[in-house]
Chain A
């Protein structure tokens, strides 16, 4: 009997079981107003184009992985590979198929979803760490594929893919502001869909499987189909993120832009931000984008010019690692939980009881 109660309590759910108290929903409109109106007013080209655009795209990639890992419980190290599929498929649809970019990006998302579905197929028998290691197959296979066959990069000499800058709805997407708006719009829509997905029956099934797939099967959830679906949905998001990364942020990309370090970066975003949380992806991505800047700035400020770049890079790496371990020890549910706790405390302030 004791054993049973242990297994039940040991799998602590990552998402809250109780519904949060109803509060007037002002946070979201305020955030959107801030992102769509206030930020473009105050931001300069450097902040918009070089920091906010990659931040938003990384948030989207984190969201994709979080659907698979944080919600459905299937850890994957293939995110970079799927982002590459999105980028190269977009390129293919534009160059070989002559489609307009938005259509190409959407179709590329579907292609990536198909690829994710294929690599999700073994998940009925392979579980846990074994599945995680297997997901590296996707990473290395796609890296090889897009490097080996020149058709994918249209027989260019260096293996890079690039598209001419585009215009959407009269917005010149060549400017930092245009790129920011395009990214923001895509990310906002996809986040809205994801937030609704995880509240739907599908999302509940994801979480049931994450918490214990045997138990989920017992209560009648089609486990295999749901797992494969999670792989497909997650890959769709990663594919779109990859396409945006290549053509909206970088402008030209190659396989190296989507190497295994990208997979780890996306994984870190969801660890730091919070598994099984939508807002966590944004917090995690903000952290990942800003931390190197903060370290650079601090180093510049204190030892301007005295530190060599290599040492700085290694210190940055070590600090990053220490922070990850520290987060895992202090707040295993990530920064999103930390912020929520803070918010709850503030909402009761100063009378806590």
Chain B
């Protein structure tokens, strides 16, 4: 029973790390309908910039501020050079543009800052602690708390600020939002910047755990099943999806894995996602679209 609980809780906590990555996707998809494959490379770029600045001797807060500034500038640049010329194109075209973008961002990140592994110490001790008689990783607890805090902040931002309400208006009906004078280009810039900052947070946590290196951009592949289980349009869905994927993946690896050779975590979440989608084709919390002929 203890093993089951430990596996379950460990999985749930690890799942929140996936949620962090997925939230960045959801933000951009909600506001601009772009399936942003570059989220992983933006995450890598953000984390790499941050750690490089730290290594140059900047204090923590200054490095954070400069990184955020760079991310905001990057968002403006992306909006001007990629999104604006491609406005009103099909979602598939935009997705493919983000594939290209991920190449540019990865190339730039590694070309400018090198491909070696950087260690990042956030001052969180990675020692397991006992709660009751269940062993839990302290680091995972912090990560989970961060994910929840981030989701809350974003929810507040969406519901209670002028920018947030404009964002929701754009997500709801772009044309109507335009006609009441919402500056669409500005909204896109803000959303990409916020997604970049979410990516930075996720990148810092993932980076502290596994070192900041190229493979960081591959966490995107971990976040995709989370995203389709939760639905592309729901931040809450990203959190719930992360929990489901984390828990199911950990349980499956522990209880089913040994019978079929183990190492099933790369594909298991995808099969789980297909099973979920088969019942709810737009994810658990995604919006269903009506098709008209």
Q: Are A133 and B227 in contact (CB under 8 A)?
A: yes
Docked-complex contact A144 and B263, CB < 8 angstroms: yes
Chain B residues closer than 8 Å to A310, beta-carbon distance: 110, 114-115
Q: Which residues of A contact B262 (CB under 8 A)?
A: 148
Task: Please report the total number of A residues contacting B with Cβ < 8 Å.
Answer: 48
| Per-residue interface assignment for chain B, residues 197 to 232, with 1 indicating a CB less than 8 Å from any chain A CB and 0 otherwise | 000000000000000000000000100110110001
Also in contact, A129 and B89, with CB within 8 A (given A212-B293, A315-B107): no
Cβ A324 vs Cβ B283 within 8 A? no
Q: What total count of A-B pairs have CB within 8 Å?
A: 140
Residue of B nearest to A14 (CB): B90
- Write out the residue numbers on chain A whose beta carbons fall within 8 Å of the beta carbon of B221: 136, 140, 260
Q: Which residues of B contact A332 (CB under 8 A)?
A: 89, 93
Give per-residue flags for B95-131: 1 if the beta carbon is below 8 A from chain A beta carbons, else 0.
Answer: 1110111111111101100110000000000000000
List the B residue with the shortest CB-CB distance to A215: B293
Are A125 and B110 neighbours in the complex by a CB distance under 8 Å? no
With contacts A129-B91, A134-B270, A317-B107 taken as known, whether A214 is within 8 angstroms of B281 at the C-beta atoms is no
**Given A144-B266, A328-B97, A122–B277 Cβ distance below 8 Å?**
yes
> Is B278 an interface residue, CB under 8 A from the partner?
yes
Query: In the bound complex, do residue B266 and residue A328 qualify as a contact, i.e. CB atoms below 8 Å apart?
Result: no
A125 near B278 with CB under 8 A, answer yes
Whether the Cβ atoms of B266 and A7 lie closer than 8 Å is no
Given contacts A126-B277, A311-B111, contact A322 B104 (CB under 8 A): yes
Of B225, B278, B291, the residue contacting A126 (CB under 8 A) is: B278
Whether A130 is near chain B, meaning CB under 8 Å from some CB there, is yes
Candidate in B111, B232, B283 with the most chain A CB atoms within 10 angstroms: B111
With A137-B267, A214-B291, A317-B106 known as contacts, the answer to whether A324 contacts B99 (CB < 8 A) is yes
Binary flags per residue of B70-110, CB closer than 8 Å to A gives 1, else 0: 00000000000110011001011101110111111111101
In the bound complex, CA of A310 to CA of B214 (Å): 13
Q: Are B228 and A144 in contact (CB under 8 A)?
A: no
CA distance A295 to B42 in the complex (A): 25
A7, A134, A264, A315: the one contacting B111 at CB < 8 Å is A315
Q: Nearest Cβ distance between residue A44 and chain B, in whole angstroms?
A: 32
A130 vs B115: C-alpha distance in the bound complex, in angstroms? 32
Cβ of B292 under 8 Å from chain A: yes
Q: How far is the CA of A318 from the CA of B110 in the complex (A)?
A: 10
Q: Which residues of B contact A19 (CB under 8 A)?
A: none
Q: Could you say which of A148, A149, A314, A321 contacts B110, with CB atoms under 8 Å apart?
A: A314
Decide if B188 is an interface residue (CB 8 Å cutoff). Answer: no
The answer to whether the Cβ of B282 comes within 8 Å of any Cβ in the partner chain is yes
Q: Would you call B273 an interface residue if the criterion is a C-beta within 8 Å of the partner chain's C-beta atoms? A: yes
Shortest distance between the CB of B68 and any CB in chain A (Å) = 23
Q: How far is the CA of A267 from the CA of B104 in the complex (A)?
A: 17
Q: Is B264 an interface residue (CB 8 A)?
A: yes
Instruction: Kindly state the separation between the CA atoms of A327 and B274 in the bound complex, as whole angstroms.
Output: 33
A224 at the interface (CB under 8 A from B): no
| A 140-165 to B, binary, CB cutoff 8 A, 1 in contact else 0 | 11011000110000000000000000
Task: Specify which chain A residues have a CB less than 8 angstroms from the CB of B181 in the assembled complex.
Answer: none
Report the Cα distance A143→B93, complex, angstroms. Answer: 28
B261 contacts the other chain (CB 8 A): yes
Question: Which of A125, A317, A328, A329 contacts B277 (CB under 8 A)?
Answer: A125
> Is the pair B274, A134 in contact by a Cβ cutoff of 8 Å?
yes
CB distance from B285 to the nearest CB of A (A): 13
Interface residues of B in 236-273 (CB under 8 A from A): 260-264, 266-267, 270-271, 273
With A143-B266, A215-B293, A328-B93 already in contact, the answer to whether A321 and B274 are too (CB < 8 A) is: no
Determine whether B35 belongs to the interface, using a CB cutoff of 8 Å to chain A.
Answer: yes
Closest to B41 in A: A321
Asked if A329 and B85 sit within 8 Å, CB to CB, the answer is: yes
Q: Is residue A39 within 8 Å, beta carbon to beta carbon, of the partner chain? A: no
Of residues 248 to 291 in A, which have CB atoms within 8 Å of B's CB atoms?
A: 260, 264, 267-268, 271
> Could you tell me which residues of chain B, from 21 to 39, have a CB within 8 Å of some CB in chain A?
35
- Cβ-defined contact, B103 with A318, below 8 A: yes
B271 is contacted by which of A126, A127, A137, A218 (Cβ under 8 Å)?
A: A137
Encode A193-217 as 1/0 by CB contact (under 8 A) with B. Answer: 0000000000000000000101100
Q: Is A168 interfacial (CB-CB < 8 Å)?
A: no
Of B107, B263, B291, which is within 8 A of A148 by CB?
Answer: B263
By the criterion CB–CB under 8 Å, are A4 and B277 in contact?
no
CA distance A260 to B86 in the complex (A): 26
A1-15 CB mask vs B (1 if < 8 Å, else 0) is 001100100000000
Cα distance, A133 to B110, chains bound together (Å) = 26
**Shortest CB–CB separation between residue A333 and chain B, in angstroms?**
10
B278 touches A141 (CB 8 A): no
Q: Are A267 and B277 in contact (CB under 8 A)?
A: no
- Known: A130-B283, A324-B96. Is A314-B107 also a contact (CB below 8 A)? yes
**Which residue of the partner chain B has the closest CB to A316?**
B107
CA distance A151 to B292 in the complex (A): 50
Please determine whether A126 and B292 come into contact, CB atoms closer than 8 angstroms: no
Q: Cα distance A35–B110 when bound, in Å?
A: 40
Chain A to chain B: the 6 pairs with minimum beta-carbon distance, closest first: A321-B103, A318-B107, A324-B100, A137-B270, A314-B111, A321-B104
Given A133-B227, A140-B221, A218-B293, 7 more A-B residue pairs with CB atoms under 8 Å apart are A126-B274, A130-B281, A133-B224, A134-B228, A143-B267, A315-B107, A321-B100
Give 14 CB contacts A-B under 8 Å: A4-B292, A7-B292, A129-B228, A133-B273, A134-B270, A134-B274, A136-B270, A144-B263, A260-B221, A317-B106, A324-B97, A328-B96, A328-B97, A329-B85
